[in-house]
Amino acid sequence: MKKDNSNLRIILAVAFAFLFIVVYSYLQKPTQLPAEPVNQITQDGVTQKSSIPSAINTSDPTISKTDTDSLGFGKIIATVVSKDVEIQIDSLGRIAQVYLTDKKFTAPKQEGFFDHIKRLFGFATKPQEVIDKLPLLGQDALRPLEIRFSDIATNNEAFSEPYTSSTNKLELKDTPQTIILIQKLKNVIVKKIITFYPNLKYDIKVEMDNKNLPYAITNGSRPVADADGYAFHGVLLETNEGKITKVEDKDAEKRENFSNVKFIASVDRYYTSLLFSSSSNGFQTIIEPEAGTKNPLPFISLKGDVDLEGYIGPKYYKELKQINPILTDVVEYGMITFFAKPVFLLLDFLHTYIGNWGWAIIFLTLIIRIILYPLSYKGMVSMQKLKDIAPKMKEIQEKHKGDPQKIQSQMMQLYKKHGANPMGGCLPLLLQIPVFFAIYRVLYNAVELKSAGWILWIHDLSVMDPYFVLPILMGVSMYIQQTLTPTTIADPTQAKIFKLLPVVFTIFLITFPAGLVLYWTLNNIFSIIQQLLINRMLDRKKALEIQEHKYPQNGEKK
């Protein structure tokens, strides 16, 4: 391998690494923890074996669509309303639907160049309309707070006997409000005491007059408000040991049991429905595959009275942390969460003081450039040194053609003599990969950035630039940066490939979130400024060396 090929190959490897990371992130299957035996924690803290049946029914046991209408099931018996949300409770004592009314969630997707072209030629009719409220739950999905009993007869009766409600409407303003739901069955009277908070948190206390009857309660199937297929959709839970398990939609092959669970959450890209416990012991969880779809259905195994806490709504990091710090783990960014989360926290910190996510991204880019400056400086100086010794490198290759070991030895001596590092120029670029991907995952998954505008045509930094302005600027800035960066590539074919990289990256990033392309464009601009300053510094240094060589300190000209 010739040394003047190494930098091009590394740069090409970086380009392919971007493709690989994104494809791998999409195709990777989340690892699961080994299932644990289900022990039952009763109110007095005594653990017993659960007698939940070996297969929980994944549909309402005895109710057809016709029966539902005649019995009044699906009927809304209570509504909880606030400034930004509406929660409906049905006659089975479940959270039937949650509507978000904030403009952040009801605004239509930003239209772009192609949307206008489609409308011009009649392929599209009219712009998307603003909806009044965004529903979070699917029409036939498993509903939060649904209870299922291990005893088949009691379970069937539970789906044929409606709950009664203490009120038909709660208005949430600044203080929590409580609703009481009661269901009277032959073997047990079920009482659900639910306290709703303005931040979408709720407390659920279940009281059973029959303390020996095992049952399960669910946080419900995942929300369906965001249909994007790239983000994780499914169930996520965390145990007291801090181990996180993810079961994605269509991947639930069999029933899984987990002990000492701190929280269980059904999630999509931006929203979650979860239950958690402040108890140090946690609770016992069952994840059951839904018949036909293999989507995960989550249940908590219980007996007797129980106190749980829940949340249903957007995955706002600060609000989840305020409710309970463990819930921040619900906001995850895939395999790079360990690095993406600090990036988000820094971005959120900047936004707190700047007030705009676009400008926060700009300052984040500047901070990252400052942190990486020492490495970038060394890399740029190293590339310049490699360019300066390129003629000598070519001379060595010609002189010892056919003797790779001799070429390698002579090259190493040349590098050592001139202080050049053949890998130094690519190290800063390699370090950009985790930063780039972390910012991508943050912009893609953080609900805080949804519908967050920046300037003029950018109304949502979490989706692509509708007019491709930023991708084009990114490509132009990458080309300028490329022309300013010293290179040792002598082969014409390799040089042409190298010059095509800005075009490849422009096409590759054209559909990426505008905030990510903004970051990459600014990163290029800062690199250009830095390269110009370093080139000027090296030119001055070289001029001084030439001057000293001609006129030594003793004043005699050589």
Q: Which two tokens stand for residue 544?
A: 């001084």
Instruction: Specify which residues 311 forms β-bridges with.
Output: 201, 274
Going from N- to C-terminal start, the domains of the chain cover 3-21+341-549, 31-332
What sign results for the dihedral spanned by CA atoms 201, 234, 84, 180?
negative
Please give, one letter per residue, the 3-state secondary structure of 518-550. Answer: HHHHHHHHHHHHHHHHHHHHHHHHHHHHHHHHH
CA pseudo-torsion sign 486, 22, 506, 454: negative
- Which tokens sit at 63? 């109710």
Helices (H), 72-205: 103-106, 113-120, 152-158
* Degrees, nearest 5: CA angle 319-306-287: 75
Q: Is 298 helix (H, G, I), strand (E, B) or coil?
A: strand
Closest CA to 142 of 79, 223, 215, 71: 223
Residue whose structure tokens are 């619900």: 330
C-alpha gyration radius of the chain: 31
Tokens 């990256």 correspond to what residue?
A: 505
C-alpha span between 490 and 6 (Å, rounded): 12
Identify the pLDDT of residue 51: 38
Grouping H, G, I as helix, E, B as strand and the rest as coil, residue 181 is strand
What is the distance between the alpha carbons of residues 305 and 210, in angstroms, rounded to a whole number?
9
pLDDT of residue 408: 78
- Tell me how far CA of residue 156 lies from CA of 142, 188, 304, in angstroms: 16, 13, 19
3-state DSSP call for residue 284?
A: strand
CA distance 196 to 170: 9
How far apart are alpha carbons 31 and 246 in whole angstroms? 7
Q: What's the CA gap between 171 and 175, in Å, rounded? A: 9
Q: Residue 118 carries which DSSP code?
A: H
Local structure of residue 456 (DSSP, 8 states): T
Number of residues written out for the chain: 558
Identify residue 301 by its one-letter amino acid code: S
Residue by residue, DSSP assigns 296-343 as EEEEEEEES-EEEEEEEEE--HHHHHHH-GGGGGGS--GGGHHHHHHH
Question: Is residue 74 packed enough to be buried (19+ CB in 10 Å), middle (13-18) or exposed (0-12)?
Answer: middle
* Residue type for position 29: K
Chain-centroid distance, C-alpha 104: 18
Q: What's residue 235's pLDDT? A: 95
Taking domain 31-332, whether its CATH number is 2.70.98.90 is answered by: yes
Maximal C-alpha separation, the chain: 113
Predicted TM-score (pTM) of the model is 0.79
pLDDT of residue 432: 73
Residue type, 186: K
Per-residue pLDDT of the chain (558 residues; tens, 9 = 90+): 444 455 555 555 555 555 555 454 444 444 333 333 333 333 333 333 333 444 444 444 433 333 333 334 469 999 999 989 999 999 999 999 999 998 888 877 766 655 655 555 556 555 566 678 999 999 889 999 999 999 999 999 999 999 999 999 999 988 999 999 999 999 999 999 999 999 999 999 999 999 889 999 999 999 998 877 678 899 999 998 889 999 999 999 899 999 999 999 999 999 999 999 988 788 999 999 998 889 999 999 999 999 999 999 999 999 999 999 999 999 988 888 888 999 999 999 999 999 999 999 999 999 988 888 887 777 777 777 777 777 777 777 777 777 777 777 877 877 777 766 666 656 666 777 788 888 888 888 899 988 888 887 888 888 888 888 999 999 999 899 888 876 655 566 766 777 788 888 888 888 888 898 999 899 899 989 888 888 788 778 777 767 776 666 655 555
- Reading the block at residue 285, the tokens are 């969880």
**CA–CA dist 71, 162 (Å, integer):** 8
CA atoms within 13 A on the CB side of 203: 12
